[in-house]
Amino acid sequence: MNQLNLLQVTEESSLSTPSQCTEPEFVQPFKEVFELSTLVGQNLAVSLLKGALAIASPSGRLAHNRLAPAYLFAGPEGVGKSLAAKCFLAQALNIHNLANQPDLLWVEPTYLHHGQLLNESELAASGVQPKSAPLLRIEQVREITQFLSRSPLNAPFKAVVIQNAEKMQPNTTNALLKTLEETTTGTIILLSSQPQRLLPTITSRCQIIPFHRLTDVEMKAVFERIGQVEIFNNPVVMTLAAGSPGQAIVHHEQLQSIPRQLLKQLATPIANPLTALSIAKEIEATLEFHQQVWLLDYLQHCWRKSLNHSDWLSKLSAAKNSLFKASPRLIWEVLLLSQ
């Protein structure tokens, strides 16, 4: 199967991904063993990565110039792309403790706040409500270029992982393309759940590693392994996850964090205007911003089952986009009153 076909298969899978707030990729929380054999349900990706390592190590010692200068790990959120990158680099760099590794740079989308670039966890720690979605910015590509220009300290080569690579501004894309064209001293791994949003000139310079959604059997095996079978046994969570262990964990945690009474009240659209206003006030007062974003995704699942028209889906989608731009309480009032 050539790269074009691999990308097409992955795009079809990614296009069906439910809209979600930013979530971490699936990892195994009970231990950190960065071996490709720990990946579940990604046989093709594992085979391609093991093949790349075998080609780069013909005599048992890795030759960096035999690795591709760039890889694109493409597939839905939460199916193991980040874990695969860690496993691949742990073996390629011959370093099993990737924490604070000076020859590895992990880049993720950021928010711009008072002139500072903050990632998801940093923004949450600051208590600031995001006004827009996070982006990969040109300053970060410049940091990548500078990082790759320096010699490795204690590894055979330098490596960069770019998470959510599709979240690039146009000028960032052009800067990254130039970096990909000039990089000879390191390897760049792009992780993307929406590879169709990347420029063809970017994907053409990468070896594509496709990732896919897991089957029910594979999902069960994952949660048995990590000792969280209760997640697999929750039909709502499994429906929302759609074959993604990482998404299942996120949905489970979010579902547990929302008051049960509130979920019960929102099981169907609110008919009483006063009740709608009261619930909108409660949502703003009790839920964090990321919980409100998740709740709109959850309502798409609930209301799709109970309503016969598609207007509500577009209303929920519009509400989600508006959360970044206006008062959350106003958004919820408009949504819940639009009967």
Tokens of 112: 């711009």
Q: 113 and 128 in contact (C-beta within 8 Å)?
A: yes
Note the pLDDT of residue 310: 63
Verdict on whether the full-model pTM lies above 0.95:
no
Note the pLDDT of residue 306: 65
Is the domain of 116 the same as that of 245?
A: no
Is the domain of 240 the same as that of 119?
A: no
Is the domain of 302 the same as that of 164?
A: no
Q: How far apart are the first and last CA of the chain?
A: 50
Give the end of a domain, one of 188, 213, 238: 213
Note the pLDDT of residue 128: 74
Q: 117 and 137 in contact (C-beta within 8 Å)?
A: yes
Note the pLDDT of residue 301: 82
Is the domain of 48 the same as that of 128?
A: yes
Sign of CA dihedral 238, 307, 282, 129: positive
Note the pLDDT of residue 88: 94
- Compute the chain's Rg from CA coordinates: 21
Is the domain of 69 the same as that of 166?
A: yes
Domain with 174 in it = 3-213
- pLDDT tens figures, 153-193: 888 889 999 999 999 988 899 999 999 988 777 899 999 99
Is the domain of 147 the same as that of 266?
A: no
Is the domain of 54 the same as that of 161?
A: yes
pLDDT tens for each residue of the chain, 339 residues long:
444 444 444 444 433 333 344 444 544 443 456 789 889 999 999 999 999 999 888 776 777 778 999 999 999 999 999 999 999 999 888 877 788 889 999 999 988 877 778 877 777 777 777 777 789 999 999 999 999 999 998 888 899 999 999 999 888 999 999 999 887 778 999 999 999 999 999 999 999 999 999 999 999 999 999 999 999 999 999 999 999 999 999 999 999 999 999 999 998 888 899 999 999 999 999 998 889 999 998 988 888 766 656 677 788 888 988 888 888 999 999 999 886
Note the pLDDT of residue 12: 40
Give the end of a domain, one of 213, 232, 259: 213
Give the end of a domain, one of 183, 213, 243: 213
Q: 75 and 86 in contact (C-beta within 8 Å)?
A: no
- Taking the C-alpha atoms of residue 296 and residue 320, their distance in angstroms, rounded to an integer, is 7
Note the pLDDT of residue 26: 47
Is the domain of 186 the same as that of 295?
A: no
- Taking the C-alpha atoms of residue 297 and residue 132, their distance in angstroms, rounded to an integer, is 17
- Taking the C-alpha atoms of residue 76 and residue 192, their distance in angstroms, rounded to an integer, is 8
Note the pLDDT of residue 309: 60
Is the domain of 258 the same as that of 166?
A: no
Q: Structurally, how many domains does the chain consist of?
A: 2
Q: 77 and 38 in contact (C-beta within 8 Å)?
A: no
Note the pLDDT of residue 33: 61
Q: Return the CATH number at 173.
A: 3.40.50.300
Is the domain of 206 the same as that of 234?
A: no
Amino acid at 322: S
Is the domain of 17 the same as that of 135?
A: yes
Is the domain of 55 the same as that of 101?
A: yes
- pLDDT tens figures, 39-55: 999 999 999 999 999 98
Q: 60 and 98 in contact (C-beta within 8 Å)?
A: no
Location of structure tokens 């992780």: 191
Q: 214 and 40 in contact (C-beta within 8 Å)?
A: yes
